[in-house]
Amino acid sequence: MNFIKRVLSTVTGIFVFLFICFGFLIVLGLVLGSSNEAVVTVKPNTVLDLKLDFPIRDYAGKTEFKQYAFLNEDEKNGLFNIIDAINYAATDSNIKGISIDNNFIKAGISQTKALRDALIKFKESGKFITAYADIYTQKDYYLSSVADTIFINPAGLMEFKGLYSEQLYFKDFQEKSGLKMEVVRFGKYKSAVEPFLENEMSPANREQVEAFLNSIWAEVKNEISVSRGISKDDLNNIADSLLARTPKLALKSKLVDRVGYHDEYISGLKQAVGVPESQDLNMISIEDYAVHTATELLTNYSKNKIAVLYAEGEIIYGEGDKGVVGQGSMNRSLKKAREDDNIKAIVLRINSPGGSALASELIWREIELTKQVKPVIVSMGDLAASGGYYIACNADKIYAEPTTITGSIGVFGVLPNGHKLISDLGINAEQVATNKNAVTYSFFEPLDDNQRAFIKEGIVDIYELFTTRVANGRGKLQDEIKAIAQGRVWTGIDALANGLVDELGGLDKAIAYAAEQADLNDYMLKEFPVYKKDLEKILSDLGIAETKESILKEELGEDAYWVLQEIKSLSKKEGVQLLFPYSTEIK
């Protein structure tokens, strides 16, 4: 009897626990849902606060939870939601101007350029743009240089020194640790695996890094020159000699207009808007205003639609998610857009360093099927390299930003090998096989010549397929593509010159061209993909995964954590890879 009581008690406890958890999820869903649906009001004489200190993705993402629909998400803080909000603010009589205030912007160079272009267009309305910072990072200043008046704190700092990129090399680390990466690559410039083979940068890799950094710096410098009325030579001199490193030097170099405190900056905004000093200034955050803009734009209904599909992040074989491109969600979205009679054209927005060769090929195939039915136009963001270029190459037209990094038409395979590590620990692995080539790869044994030859054969086959896809998509001979391939990366400007892209411009130009091809005068945009989630992912999104990440960052520090993630990411890659050669961080 006591046993039965204990069993019933345990079962009851489990049910109560599950009921409480379910109730918590419902309450949380109602809270989140009500916050998303809250009406954002804009008061008269309001300043739009363009504070961009959150991670900016091209696509904020739309998520549907399989079990709990009330947890569905449709965020409006993506890059193009922000650009829509800036464009809408130009016509909103309640918005008097824009304030760019202490950003520390978390966006790529091409994303920053797209925001900058939107701000330049905003200025045509006659409304003001002002900027203030305690510390201007180089990217912050690039964005803020469009402002009519630029403030800096008297005790502040400015970074204006040119660009650089840093690559870690692990050859000696492998020897010391006993954990080695078996590498097979094809392409003179395919440098993603170079850190495992060398202790220093190869001349070929240095050549391409210098080329794309100089190209991007030239674009940044040219645009700042136009906005600030400072010659490009003078800007180079300022960067070379660090003549803007202090507020006084920045003022003397004409990179800023005023040295003052934040309260003085706010007083200046009040004066510009016509608000008495004794009253509070009406300000609205860009995130709230983007929600308001999205609601307003929904009233501009049209039956005709242009689909915008976002391929953002590394390409993996699988479903995909925010920040990760999978053929599952991409191909489902392409098929849905292809079969929807109201969708007249498709724009594929790519911001990806590439990844899985197989997944890239599967997405390429779905694009090939889709463009037989409707126009498919590509817009490239910060990156459309390697596998990211693979899924772009057969589009009807390709647009890239001048600062886009693309190309990297090459292939590599990498397999972790722990033979020395386990040998040093006194462990030996023995294999028994029925056939000569049954053991194609073992973590515990180095690759023999026969195994390496088979892997290289597969690499070469994929390289031949890759260059064939590009040649057919771009209307060129395969030998012409091979001459600019071998894993070399190019900026958008250089890619235009060598025929890898058709025109320079952002997503707006790609959409306009898609509308032209579909002969549309009025249309709405419909965004894809919609990500599918289950209960396990809900628990992850509630903070379990983030807690682990935050603990590691706190214990190791940001830089050490980044090194750990780089090693971990490379060690997990399976199969043949079409991946951008190195870290995408430009400093």
Catalytically active residues are 190, 386
3-state percent helix, strand, coil for the chain, nearest multiple of 5 = 45, 20, 35
Instruction: Phi first, then psi: give them for residue 355, nearest 5 degrees.
Output: 155, -120
**Encoded tokens for 100:** 């760019």
- H and E: helices and strands count for the chain: 22, 23
Distance between CA atoms of residues 266 and 151, nearest Å: 11
Contact at 8 Å (CB) between 488 and 212?
Answer: no
- Tokens representing 440 are 């194609």
**Which residue from 296, 364, 310, 282 is spatially nearest to 96, judged by alpha carbons?**
282
Q: CA-to-CA distance for 131 and 154, rounded, in angstroms? A: 15
> CA 40, CA 579: separation in Å to the nearest integer?
42
As a whole number of angstroms, the longest Cα–Cα distance in the chain is 91
- Provide CB contacts within 8 A for 67, sequence distance 6+: 534, 535, 538
- Kindly state the tokens that stand for 288: 């709230």
Q: Which helix (H) or strand (E) holds 236?
A: helix 232-241
* Contacts of 1 by beta carbon, 8 Å cutoff, 6+ apart: none
CB hemisphere CA count around 266 (13 angstroms): 13
Cα–Cα distance for residue pair 331/407, rounded to 1 Å: 23
Which residues have C-beta within 8 Å of that of residue 327, sequence separation ≥ 6?
317, 318, 320, 359, 362, 363, 366
Distance CA 412, CA 301 (A): 47
- How many angstroms separate the Cα of 107 from the Cα of each of 243, 344, 461? 26, 31, 36
From start to end of 238-342, where are the E strands? 258-259, 282-285, 305-312, 314-316, 324-326
Residue from 38, 323, 235, 272 nearest 148 by CA: 272
Number of neighbours of residue 573 by Cβ within 10 angstroms: 20
Residue whose token pair is 């969708």: 343
Hey, what are 247's tokens? 């507020």
What does 133-155 look like in DSSP terms, one character per residue?
EEEE-HHHHHHHTTSSEEEEEEE
DSSP at 40: P
